[in-house]
Every structure is written in C-alpha cells, then in structure tokens.
Structure 1
Amino acid sequence: MQIIPVEDLQTQKAFLKVPVMLYKNDPNWIQPLDKDVEDVFDAQKNKAFRFGKVQRWLLKDDTGNYIGRIAAFANSKYKNKGDDVPVGGCGFFECINNQAAASLLFDTAQNWLKQQGMQAMDGPINFGERDRWWGLVTKGFMEPLYCMNYNPEYYVALFENYGFKLYFDQVCFSMKSKEPLSSKIWERHNNIEKDKNFSSATIKKNDLEKYANDFAVVYNKAWAGHGGLKQLSKDQVLLMFKKMKPVMDERIVWFAYYKNDPIAIFVNLPDLNQWFKHLHGKFGLLQKLKFLWLKQFSPNKKFNGLVFGVVPEFHGKGVDAYIIGESAKVIQTDAVPYTHYEMQWIGDFNPKMLNIAGSLGDVHRSRNLSTYRFLFDREKEFKRHPILV
C-alpha cells in the first residue's frame, strides 16, 4: 500500500472520487457537492486557515487502485471544555473494510499532527464549523442530511480497533411534522401566549438585517462558549442568511420576543439533499438549472433543524414550547409540504437541549453520530467531554 499526498489537481480529483467508488452500491449514500468538500480545503473560502493548517492523503493498494483517503487538521482555535493538551483533528476519512489500510491512514494523520505539536486527534471532524462534516455515523445508517457525514457500519470497528475512544455522542431527533404536538407542549405554549408581552414572527427575506441582529443576540446568549462555539456578529449572521436566502423558506424560520426583545430562535431549512442527490456532486450551470426546476416542481417533504435556542433568563419558563407551538400552527397546515423533520445533532454533553428536543411530541432518536478521540500518549487517562451545566 502507498500513501500519496494531495498536492495537485489530479490528486484533488482523486480525493473526490474515492467515496464514489466505495459507495457505488449503497442506496443511502448521497454524493456531496464537490464544491462543498473542496471549499473546506480552500484558504480563500475557509476562515479556519487563519488559525491552522490542513493536509490530505490518498491510499493506493498494490495494484494502483485508490482504496482510502484522510485529512488532518491543526487549528489553534479548536478547543473543547476540559482539554488539557493541544488537540488536532482528522476527517473526510474513507476506506475499504481493511484494518491495515485504515491504520495506515490514521498513522499518517497522527504523525503529521505530532509534527504540528498536537497531542491528541479527534475524528472524524471538520476543519471549520461543527454544523457540517462532523462525527461518525454509529446508528441510523440512512440518507444523510445536507453536509452531514455518512459511512458504512464497519467504520466504527476501524476507528475503535485503532484505539479511538468515544469522546461524545451526537444525537439526532426526528418526528413526523404533521403529527400533533404533545398536550404538555400546548399547555405550556398557551400559558405564554396569554401574556401579550410575548410575540413571535417568521423571518422576512426583505429584512434580513433585522433578523440577523435578533439571531446574533439570542445565539450569543444561548450558545456561545458552549462546546467550543464562538460569538457571532450581526454581520457574520447576515452573510450566512444571504447565503441561505435562495433556499430559505420563511415559514420554517422562527423568532420569539419579549417586549420586542429577541429571546428565542428556531431556524430550519428544507433538506437540500433531497434535491442535490439528483445532481451527482456537480453544481455547474446545467445542474443549477436542474436544481431550480426540482425546487419549483418537486416538493421537498423533509426539513431539518439548524439552530434552536432560548436565552438563559427565559430557560424553564415555557418559551421553548411557545416558539414550537407557534411554528406548528403554520407548518402543520396543508399549505406547507413538509412531513418529516430531523434536528441538527445535539451533543450528549448537553442534557438540557436533549430534554427539550425529547419533549417536542412524538419524537424519536433517528440517528447517532460520534466524535472519537485518540490520545497520542497511550498511558494518559482518557476523559469524555464534560457535561454542560
């Protein structure tokens, strides 16, 4: 077997083709858009390059066929609560069902990370934000959401046999979105609704600046500082909203207010993979035209949750039920096509959010991803991600 660094156009293309070969007979795999993968490794498009570096490799067998790939990341801004050593990452791992091949890929990533001063390796993770390409699927091997990892079941053994240990689980909840919410949700919703100081609104595409500010206020109070998440400025959110605008459905992006101050957000998008799976990884002019046609004439039955948050001063007061109930009044009408809903993953280190998600109604844990950690000092005590309180 031979390790080959990705360092020119030919090897970049090969890096994209490895999963096409591995998953050609897997009906659940949806080929990611090539540009979404390549953007991770483009210093002009990925701000993580300001604080780190990345290296990619391919693996060939003795007959010259590609049988695996991996990327390694060193990022000075990557930290989790409780970390006491510098931690790097590996991701975009693909491999045939062969432990020797997988171990060679992991060894290559580990050796490079040691050269960067790292003392541990998390994987499979992203070189960037945690809302994409993060975690190994360990339960629920079904069609992935947009920019979500997918892998065969045998990857779990490849990681664990090498010595990776579970650092935290990433839990996804799903529900049939037309099913009635629980009576408990409506009871708590109605108690809030009686107070006219509370109000709700859906996003308006013609006023994104206002909603970007509202989002930033809630997000920074509710999420920043947890699990390595950073503060977001209004301008950062506005840029994100502008990128989302072509696929944004105003009916599924919700805000709650108290005396006109933003206190909760419930941000969802149509599951883009239900359209992108017909594009086979490409997004040139013809694919863009096909996407617009699909978007217009092929109603999307699935939508997924990106962010749900309530500011700390309103925790435990029913605001979560209020915003969910307000959204249900619209989403559960016949005018809205969505019938299936899946939330973005929630770390098992966040029991409060797990409890909220589990109380939405007839929900179930639809899939589980896992972030693994490998300590380079094999004598060092392993600790899981601490629980947030």
Structure 2
Amino acid sequence: MSSEPANSPHPNPQSQNRSTTVSGPYQCKPVTSKADQKAFLRLEVELYRDDPNWVTPLWSERKSLLGFKSHPFYDNADSQAFLVLKSGKVVGRVLAIVNHGHNQYHEEKRGFFGFFECIDDLQASSLLLETACDWLRSKGMTDVRGPVNPSLNYECGLLIDGFDTPPTFLISYNHAYYGRLIEAFGFEKSQDLYCYDASMDDLDDLDPKLKFVIDEATKRFKVKCRPVDPKNPSDIQAFLDIYNQSLQRTWGYVPMSQAELLHQSQQMKHLIVPRLTSLAEIDGKPVGAGFGLLDFNQILIGMNGRLFPFGWLKLLLGKKKIDRLRLVSTNVLPEYQKWGLGLVTLARILPDAIDYGIRTGEFSWVLESNSLSRGTIERGGARRTKVQRIYDMSLSGDSAGD
C-alpha cells in the first residue's frame, strides 16, 4: 500500500512507509487512507473548538495544500502526513515535506514540516516530530525547517505573539503552547515574520519624507499605476515575473511556478477586488505590483469552512462589509527597489481602499531580515501586532528529541 494519501494525484513509490511507531500508550502512523485524512482534518476542529480567535479554514483548499487533492505545488515536491494517537485517540498531526524546488534553488538537502497540530503533551509531539524527521532522513535530507503549509509561498510560521485577535485571511494561527513543544524537541529560531497594523487615516497622512519620495519617484520615472486585471493573462504573467524577480535575494525564497500562480489566481478570482491592487508601469513596462486582499476571515469566522452550496454566496455578498485589508505584497523589480517605487505602487491603492470602506490595513508578512520594508512600514506609523516564527534543526546525528 502506498504511503501517499488515498487518491493522491502524485503517487510516489519512493515515499512508501507503512510502519507504525509505538511508545507506551502512544503510536505514530502514516496517513494512508481516506479515513486517516478525515482524522487529520478533524483534529484541527477538535483542538480549536473553544477558541474564539480560530477561523475555520476553507477545507477544499486545505485538502489541496496537504496533497490530499491535486495541487501544482506537488508537481515538484513529495510529502507524507502522520498522525499520533494516545490510547487509540488521534491527538497530533504533521506533514513532512521534501520541496525539490527549494533544494534545487538553494542547493540544499532541507526537509520541511507543516500543518502541525497537537495537544499539550510533550511525549506525543516528540514522537510525532521524530517520526516526521525520520521520514525526511530516509529521503536524504540533512536539515529541517518549519512550519510551512506547505511552503513560504503559502501560510507559514508559528504564531508566538499576538494571540488576542483572530488572524487575517491566509495568516497562520495556533495555540500558544506550540512553540514550547517545538523548541523542546530541539528546533531553534531561524527567522521571524511580522504583521503590522495601520489605520487608513494614518496611511493617508504619511510622513512628509515618504510623500516626497513618492512624488519624486513618480516624476523621475514617469510612473503610471493602474489596477491589476485578474482576467488578463498578461497582467497575471507580469505579476508572476515581478514577484519572482523581486524576491530573488530574499531569505528562504523559492520561485512560484506558472502552474502554482495560475492555480492561485483561479482560486482567488472571485475574491480579488481589482481596485485594491496596483500595477506600476514605466513606458508601458510593468515594474512593480501591489496586492491588497480583503480580510475574508471576518466572514469565514462565522462559517464552517465549506463554500458549497451557499458558502460562496455568503462570502461574495458579505465582502462589501469587510473593513480590513491585508496588504500581501508590494514587489518591485530589483533595479528600482531603492527608488521608492514600492511606495508609489502602494499609494495607488490607498484612495480606493478608503473609498471601499477599509479602516485598517495589515502589512503581512514582513521578514525580520527585510530591514528596508520594515523601516518604511514603521516610519509610516504602522504597529507590529503579530509575530510568526520559522524554526530550523539539523537532522544529522541524534535528534534533540531522543
């Protein structure tokens, strides 16, 4: 029997692993059936049932990102999901990931873990993580990083600060004790990701120095900005090109494939509001792209994570009432990054956002090591509200979890 999830679109004979690890009342087993998949998903509901800040995920997209359904990320990646049981009851889960795209780009042998959930039980979490690490070792990996769900191009990071409010759309959320479990196993901080909040009034009343930069860059390069047309293939291609070129020197970056971007645009086409996006052009050539995404969690927090039969209608009818915007990215081609083109791109969105009824903007996520972006955002008056952490650990020698 293959260790790939039932009906997986990317069967991989090399990733077979039918063994179950047993330690006293605990056992850890690979996900190998639809029943296992359901248990994997159900655990999330059970663990957050009484948490008012947890937002039910869109289950269809969650299944795809896990590889339980087709997703283009797995065109160049392998994975294995695991469950840990205590006295026969599922109490933890994790996905072990070999992202070939990352290892090819960075010339590493780094594995990843994601979708980690567990009760507050060190024995359970250690057995779960050790089993995932063993699987990664069997694939030739020498290091492991996480959590990523399933890569840095999607939801990622472990929330370590900012548990008092719900996350914005497509930002990860978890129990406060997860950091203790992961660090006790031997993982150490690699990089923090920041979320910043800013009221639209503050953004509309920028520091005079920032306004000067915007005006001077606009005049110097004769920049023209317009909304992105999500139905125009050339705009989608321009966004992909700018995204991939602008982030080449960014920590942990892996190029997003054409298939992944097209999948994302297809999934998001009904959720994107074009006037909350921006494409900056110089002499007709796209050089910068800004993308604001409504915080659909304001609606999803009251749903069960299912879009059919009436979920889509509730989502679409409710989006006019959303007053929070997640500024997902403002990317500029490398040759223009020091000239304020990012600010120019963002400035086009602000008037339309205010007119839409947006009261708060969240910049998320921003790398701790991205001093240029952090400095600009902080000078604009934004307040850091949440911190997500990425952890690293070596797989060589004995595990710290032994």
TM-score range, shorter chain: 0.7 to 0.9
Aligned-residue offset at 1:308: 1.0
**Residue number in structure 2 paired with 1:344:** 364
Using structure 2 for the length normalisation, give the TM-score. Answer: 0.84
Q: Name 1:106's counterpart in structure 2.
A: 129
Letter paired with 2:385: S
Matched, 1:252 2:252: no
Give the number of equivalent residue pairs: 371
Structure 2, unaligned stretches of length 5 or more?
1-25
Tell me, in whole angstroms, the C-alpha distance in 1 between the residues paired with 2:328 and 2:55. 19
* Residues 205 and 20 of structure 1: CA distance in aligned 2, closer, same or farther (over 3 Å): closer
**Are the counterparts in 2 of residues 270 and 300 from structure 1 also a CA contact under 8 Å?**
yes
The equivalent of 2:57 in structure 1 is 32
- Partner residue of 1:295? 319
Counterpart of 2:77 in structure 1 is: 52
1:238 shift after superposition? 5.4
Give the 3 Å change call, closer, same or farther, for CA 195–86 of structure 1 in structure 2. closer
Contact between 1:90 and 1:125, CA under 8 Å: does it hold in 2?
Answer: yes
The answer to whether the 8 A contact 2:296-2:315 is kept is no
Q: How many Å separate the matches in 1 of 2:84 and 2:291?
A: 40
Moved more, 309-318 or 235-244: 235-244
Q: Is the 8 A contact 1:225 1:231 kept in 2?
A: no
Counterparts of residues 152-301 of structure 1 (less than 5 Å): 152-179=175-202, 180-195=205-220, 197-205=222-230, 208-224=232-248, 226-231=250-255, 237=261, 240-295=264-319, 299-301=321-323
| Alignment partner, residue 392 of structure 2 | 373
CA distance in 1, matches of 2:279, 2:177: 41
For 2:127, the aligned partner's letter is L
Q: CA deviation at 1:352?
A: 2.4
| Shift of residue 199, structure 1, vs aligned partner | 1.4
Residue deviations 1:47-105 (CA, integer Å, cap 9, x gap): 2333332111222222x33211111112222239876x511111111111111111111
Moved over 6 A (4+): 80-83, 233-236
Letter of the 2:371 partner, please give it.
P
SS at match of 2:189: strand
Aligned partners of 1:164 and 1:374 also within 8 Å: yes
Answering whether residue 329 of structure 2 is matched by residue 327 of structure 1, we say no
Does structure 1 retain, via aligned residues, the 8 Å contact 2:276–2:353? yes
Cα offset, 1:363, TM superposition: 0.3
What percentage of residue pairs aligned between the two structures are identical? 25
In 1, Cα distance between the equivalents of 2:68 and 2:35? Answer: 19
2:172 to 137, 140, 149: 149
Q: What are structure 1's unaligned runs of at least 5 residues?
A: 381-389
Equivalent residue of 2:270, what SS?
Answer: helix
SS at match of 1:256: strand
Distance between the aligned counterparts of 1:344 and 1:102, measured in 2?
Answer: 28
Please, what is the CA RMSD of the aligned residues? 2.5
Q: 2:142 aligns with which of 110, 119, 140?
A: 119
Alpha-carbon distance change, 231 to 156 in structure 1, aligned in 2, over 3 angstroms: closer
Secondary structure at the counterpart of residue 316 of structure 2 = helix
Q: Distance in 2 between matches of 1:59 and 1:232?
A: 32
